[in-house]
Amino acid sequence: MSSDNRREPRQRVFLKGRITFNNGASSFDCLVRDLSGLGARLALSETASLPEAFDLYIAQKDRTYRSMLRWRRQDGIGVTFVEAAQPAAQPAAEPAGGDASVAFLLRRIGELEAENAALRRMLAGTTGPGVAGPGDAASAA
């Protein structure tokens, strides 16, 4: 992509990024290759399943950028930032359906607790007689 189309030049960078969408339920790791105050070029292993809008978190900058997909190639994407970067420690403004967000989180916690219990049962099933399971170290000694 020609830099002539950009309102602001991008700096070449090599920063780890994380793309999140679906209210935080889905995410991808990425590599930020070019960055400006208005957008970025990201290197990804898979671009087909990304939505048009998502959040980009850059840990080294401790910032989250609300991003819009501008172009897509097999090995990466170009994005523009639709609002000023938010410090990562401060959540973005609460959506109008705050109760829906709480309900989503409570439902997700329940799902994760159920998955955790299922994994514990599966792990307990793999430890047979004579095999020390987790927490059995004292009795095996």
What token pair was written down for 28?
């991808």
Residues 115, 74: Cα–Cα separation, whole Å: 34
Q: The pTM is what? A: 0.57
Q: Are residues 28 and 44 in the same domain?
A: yes
Residues 35, 27: Cα–Cα separation, whole Å: 20
Q: Is residue 130 part of a domain?
A: no
Q: Are residues 58 and 19 in the same domain?
A: yes
Q: Which has more confidence, 19 or 9?
A: 19
How confident is the model over 12-63, as pLDDT tens digits? Answer: 999 999 999 998 889 989 999 999 989 999 999 877 788 999 999 999 999 9
Q: Are residues 114 and 54 in the same domain?
A: no
Beta bridge partners of 43: 31, 76
